[in-house]
Chains A and B, each alone.
Chain A
Amino acid sequence: MSNVLNLTSVEKSFGGLKVIDNVSFNVKKGSRTALIGPNGAGKTTIFNLLSGIYEVDSGNISLDNNDITQIPARKRINIGMSRSFQNIRLMPHLSTIENVMLGQHHLANSARENFFPLGLIKTNKWAKLAEQSLIEAGLDTYPGQVVSELPYGVQKRIEVVRALVSNPKLLLLDEPAAGLNSTETKELQILLEKASSSGTTLLVVEHDMNFVRNLCQHVVVLNFGRKIFEGTPDEVSRDPQVLEAYLGGNDNNAS
């Protein structure tokens, strides 16, 4: 199986603080990979480097064996990378369906599509596609509602749908299950498994280890900006270095 994403010796510093230190890992095409680590390990920084919000200091990132290190953030959705956010970043004043339509933007970015009155002719193909994706995600009861009025768990899943409708090769999910109850987590898992089975590669940052174990086959563990372990979920929970990172080492002087 080939890799969809390669990180090679990626480094990033903020001032004198090295936040990402020589991190390399690969994500296999079609896989469901988790990126875990204690708070402040650099998981979200990795996501921001991948989506182009930050520039890497050294090393490189490639998608489908093409170096994308220099590609600006706006163009990265065109080459097949889409993401959700740790804190909900839906557009609060837009309706559910309009938020999903924003996810389609790069597929419809011609002058003709930009000036077609989507809101006046409601039976257009983009609205239908967006509605279809909402139905598939079990969110079809809210298409016209302004998202700021919807429950947290629903907003969280709309964000995933918005990222999915851009047809990404690689979907980056930053704590998709955070704050969800068990029913909502289960629904999210079904949604992600469906996306995965249709060929989208998932890279998930998540603290909920049960969710990670149920969803992912491969786990990368970061601590203080370094990769400390890589393996299956079962191996991870047995690895002494990982346990030390989460629970503290035997030789700590806490007492």
Chain B
Amino acid sequence: MSAYMTGIIIILCLNIIIAYSVFLPAAAGQLNLGAAGFMIIGAYTDAYLSSADEGLGLPIALTIPVAALFTGLVGFLMSFPILRTRGVYMILATFAFAEIVAGIVLNMEIVGGASGFPVTTHTELEVLLPVTVVVVLFGFYLISTRFGLSMRSIHDDENVSLLFGVNTHLVKVGAFTIGAFLGGLAGALYGHQFDYIEVQNWGILFSIYVLLYVLIGGTQTPWGPLVGAMFFTFIPEILRAIGDATGIELFTELRFAAFGVIIVGMMVLRPEGIMTRTFLELLFRKSIPKSNIKLS
């Protein structure tokens, strides 16, 4: 495999994990623009614990899970104020959270402040790839459980879910916390791929992109974040390849403008995301009895 392909796959894997971290709260109706914040907490916790020079030099088999769990704990504590907000206000609250995290870390000299922090333990895909597969399987598993059913009912109608005995607050906190855990996991894994972390990697643009992976992919099914992350990872590369082959300006300098047009087009054509339930049923034809297929 060429270094270029390996690089793409690394980015894809990280994108998929962070997409699931935003998808799980989104499936329960929470719009989370704080992906950058969780990524930073995970990356810096892991880097500080594992770095041989300036950190504690602990083995990554320990530091990656600890970093993810610590991020989950922060998410759990933050969920109480954040879940008091809804809709666009939740977007603002989670965005504010990410900015606060970035601000704090920028001013922490122990982790290098604005100059970033080196990560001494390098891994190749042998860690990232299996973890990504497990995260995807976990996403599918969780959505298929009664807990996942509760999440999706809260997304559709919180009050009715409550009347049917769903502990809506617990489920919402749970979804947010698991999302934070996965965000921390993505951050921890990032450091070991790129050997250097800095807060500037994870600004508002990063959080917007991750939310777009999920919204363009679709929040109704666990296929959404997988497809969304692939879409956002591959389309710019495909455009680049077309540009290199043809030399057409639209695909070279204007590559991101073309990508923007594609995103807007997706929003117009598939406002509920690429992978909706109806679309999946069409793909697999699993549950529509023949008598119900409209012949028009």
Instruction: Give the number of chain B interface residues (Cβ < 8 Å).
Output: 35
The digit string for A111-154, where 1 denotes a CB below 8 A from any CB of B, is: 00111111110000010000000000000011111100100000
**B170 to chain A: closest residue by CB:** A114
A89 within 8 A of B: yes
Secondary structure type dominating chain B contacts: helix
Count chain A CB atoms within 10 A of each CB in B155, B277, B278 and give the residue with the most: B277
The digit string for A13-41, where 1 denotes a CB below 8 A from any CB of B, is: 00000000000000000000000000000
- Size bin of chain A's contact surface: 35 or more
Q: Is the CB of B149 within 8 A of A102?
A: yes
Q: Name A's B-contacting residues (CB within 8 A).
A: 51-53, 73-78, 82-83, 85, 89, 91-95, 98, 101-103, 105-106, 108-109, 113-120, 126, 141-146, 149, 162, 166
Shortest Cβ-Cβ A-B pairs, 3 listed: A144-B287, A119-B144, A106-B165
Q: Is the CB of B159 within 8 A of A53?
A: yes
Q: Is the CB of A105 within 8 A of B162?
A: no
Bound-complex Cα distance A126 to B145 (A): 12
How distant is A125 from chain B, measured CB to nearest CB, in Å?
A: 12
Q: Of the candidates A93, A105, A120, which one forms a contact with B141 in the assembled complex, judged by CB atoms under 8 Å apart?
A: A120
Q: Is the CB of A113 within 8 A of B146?
A: yes
**Number of CB contacts from chain A to chain B under 8 A:** 108
Bound-complex Cα distance A21 to B230 (A): 60
User: Which of B51-59, B251-259, B288-296 is near enough to bind chain A?
Assistant: B288-296
Chain B residues with CB under 8 A of A51: 163
Q: Of the candidates B149, B167, B278, B288, which one forms a contact with A98 in the assembled complex, judged by CB atoms under 8 Å apart?
A: B149
How distant is A1 from chain B, measured CB to nearest CB, in Å?
A: 28
Q: Name the interface residues of B126-156: CB closer than 8 Å to any CB of A.
A: 140-141, 143-150, 152-153, 155-156
Q: Of the candidates A83, A103, A114, A143, which one forms a contact with B147 in the assembled complex, judged by CB atoms under 8 Å apart?
A: A114
Q: Name B's A-contacting residues (CB within 8 A).
A: 140-141, 143-150, 152-153, 155-157, 159-168, 220, 277-278, 281, 286-289, 291-292
Q: Of the candidates A85, A103, A118, A145, which one forms a contact with B287 in the assembled complex, judged by CB atoms under 8 Å apart?
A: A145
Chain A residues with CB under 8 A of B289: 141
Q: Is the CB of B144 within 8 A of A91?
A: no
**B291 to chain A: closest residue by CB:** A141
Q: Of the candidates B145, B150, B152, which one forms a contact with A105 in the assembled complex, judged by CB atoms under 8 Å apart?
A: B150
Q: Is the CB of A166 within 8 A of B278?
A: no
Chain A residues with CB under 8 A of B144: 117-120
**B277 to chain A: closest residue by CB:** A146
Known: A93-B155, A93-B156, A146-B277. Contact between A101 and B166, CB under 8 A?
no
